[in-house]
């Protein structure tokens, strides 16, 4: 092959994402209309610097993906974004394959993600299977009771990341201790609901997004505690529009969202690759931490 033909071939390179790439990363996030902020990218880099990737097409930044490692049983892939000018060139697939190779190299047994309908087309072909569906609900809640039992509610403290660990692992599948500690610091409200019987009945956060306030995660051992936390978080932001990702199986949370005037913005599907050995319990997940982290 002569030199001209060789250099005219498109070249795809996937490399580690660094802080210097965050302007591009956040611009491709904004183009997709997603709600994350620069703080989300910075957290991904802080928690798993070797698991954040950038794709270059002929030397031009073209796409991103991030991996979050919760432990040997479970890891998450998120922020799979390809610039609209470079779609259908195999970049999304290459980013996914790189994340999967990275996580398998770290000995992870199960990899999950929350797929948009567009992403699902890529993940199906890589062998990901569906676990359950969820929806993004959006709106400014109307008619919320907003008088949750205040005596049982208190602000999150740093030591709560350890105290809620078993409750969170029962809901999510594995411990998210490092992530919860980081998210709590970024939150505009972070609450714990105590219970005489079990110590801690639930916890919930809300944090700023680039489009709307993000409600989640909210994890609780009962619908009463979960919805009490939802109401308390909403009461602390009475004028805000919320984004709230709810597992479809959690009918108590879905009914609450519907009855209080929220609307479905888009469907998502939780998918997994490998053996789903720590499935968790969507009935205890009243709000995701975010599709990009689970
Ligand atoms: C989803 C997304 C990441 C796909 O990136 P991409 O680089 O275009 O995907 P690829 O070119 O690697 O596609 C791999 C395969 O997935 C399937 N696929 C991808 N996009 C598709 C589409 N729009 N229609 C039908 N099939 C599609 C095809 O089988 C494709 O292989 P092919 O082109 O050889 O037929 C990209 O469309 C995107 O950034 N969308 C907006 C953000 C988003 O939804 N991200 C997913 C989050 S879960």
Residue located nearest, by CA, to atom 12 of ligand 1? 90
**Ligand 1 atom at minimal distance to the Cα of residue 118:** 1
Torsions phi, psi of 142, nearest 5? Answer: -115, 140
pLDDT at 198: 73
Q: Is the pLDDT of residue 14 over 80?
A: yes
With the most atoms of ligand 1 within 8 angstroms of its CB, the residue from 92, 126, 272 to mutate is: 92
Q: How many helices and strands, by DSSP H and E, does the chain display?
A: 10, 13
Read off the pLDDT band of 196 (50, 70, 90). confident
For domain 3-108, give the CATH number: 3.40.630.30
Q: Residues near ligand 1 with C-beta < 6 Å?
A: 32, 80-82, 87-93, 115-116, 118-119, 121-122, 125
Read off the pLDDT band of 147 (50, 70, 90). low
Q: Cα dihedral angle (139, 33, 81, 169), rounded to 10 degrees?
A: -20
User: Ligand 1 centroid to 61 CA: how many Å?
Assistant: 17
Q: What angle do CA 190, 192, 195 make, to 5 degrees?
A: 170
Torsions phi, psi of 164, nearest 5? Answer: -90, 0
- Helix locations, the chain, DSSP H: 3-8, 22-31, 38-47, 91-105, 117-125, 160-163, 165-172, 177-186, 223-235, 251-259
Q: Is the pLDDT of residue 146 over 90?
A: no
Q: Record the tokens describing residue 2, joined without a space.
A: 């002569």
With the most atoms of ligand 1 within 8 angstroms of its CB, the residue from 27, 118, 291 to mutate is: 118
Superfamily of domain 137-287 in the CATH hierarchy: Gcn5-related N-acetyltransferase (GNAT) (3.40.630.30)
Q: Is the pLDDT of residue 4 over 60?
A: no
Q: Could you tell me if 216 and 204 are in contact, meaning their C-beta atoms sit under 8 angstroms apart?
A: yes
Read off the pLDDT band of 10 (50, 70, 90). confident
Q: Record the tokens describing residue 96, joined without a space.
A: 């996914």
pLDDT at 190: 98
Q: Is the pLDDT of residue 5 over 90?
A: no
Whether the domain at 3-108 and the domain at 137-287 fall into the same CATH topology:
yes
User: Ligand 1 centroid to 79 CA: how many Å?
Assistant: 13
Q: What residues does each domain of the chain span?
A: 3-108, 137-287
pLDDT, mean of residues 231-246: 95
Buried b (16+ CB within 10 A) or exposed e, 132-158: eebbbbbbbbeebeeebeeebbeebee
3-class secondary structure per residue, 276-293? CCCCCCHHHEEECCCCCC
pLDDT, mean of residues 117-127: 95
Residue located nearest, by CA, to atom 1 of ligand 1? 119
**Ligand 1 atom at minimal distance to the Cα of residue 120:** 48
Residue located nearest, by CA, to atom 10 of ligand 1? 90
pLDDT at 197: 79
This prediction has a pTM of: 0.95
């Amino acid at each position: 092959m002569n030199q001209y033909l060789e250099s005219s071939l498109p070249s795809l390179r996937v490399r580690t994402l660094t802080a210097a790439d965050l302007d591009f990363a956040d611009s491709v996030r904004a183009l997709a209309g997603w709600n994350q902020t620069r703080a989300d990218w910075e957290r991904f880099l802080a928690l798993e610097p070797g698991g954040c990737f950038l794709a270059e097409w002929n030397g031009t930044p073209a796409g991103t993906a991030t991996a979050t490692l919760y432990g040997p049983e479970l890891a998450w892939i998120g922020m799979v974004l390809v610039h609209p000018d470079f779609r259908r060139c195999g970049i999304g697939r290459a980013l996914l394959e790189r994340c999967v190779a990275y996580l398998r190299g770290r000995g992870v047994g199960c990899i999950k993600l929350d797929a948009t309908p567009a992403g699902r087309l890529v993940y199906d072909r890589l062998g990901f299977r569906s676990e359950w569906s969820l929806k993004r609900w959006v709106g400014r809640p109307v008619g919320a009771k907003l008088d949750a039992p205040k005596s049982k509610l208190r602000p999150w403290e740093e030591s709560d990341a350890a105290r809620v660990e078993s409750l969170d692992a029962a809901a999510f599948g594995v411990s998210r201790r490092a992530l919860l500690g980081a998210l709590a610091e970024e939150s505009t409200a972070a609450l714990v609901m105590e219970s005489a019987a079990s110590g801690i009945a639930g916890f919930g956060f809300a944090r700023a997004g680039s489009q709307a306030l993000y409600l989640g995660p909210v994890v609780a051992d009962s619908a009463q505690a979960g919805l009490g936390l939802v109401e308390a978080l909403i009461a602390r932001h009475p004028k805000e529009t919320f984004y709230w990702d709810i597992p479809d199986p959690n009918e108590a949370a879905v009914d609450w969202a519907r009855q209080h005037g929220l609307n479905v913005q888009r469907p998502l599907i939780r998918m997994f690759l490998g053996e789903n050995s720590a499935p968790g319990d969507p009935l205890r997940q009243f709000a995701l931490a975010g599709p990009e982290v689970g």
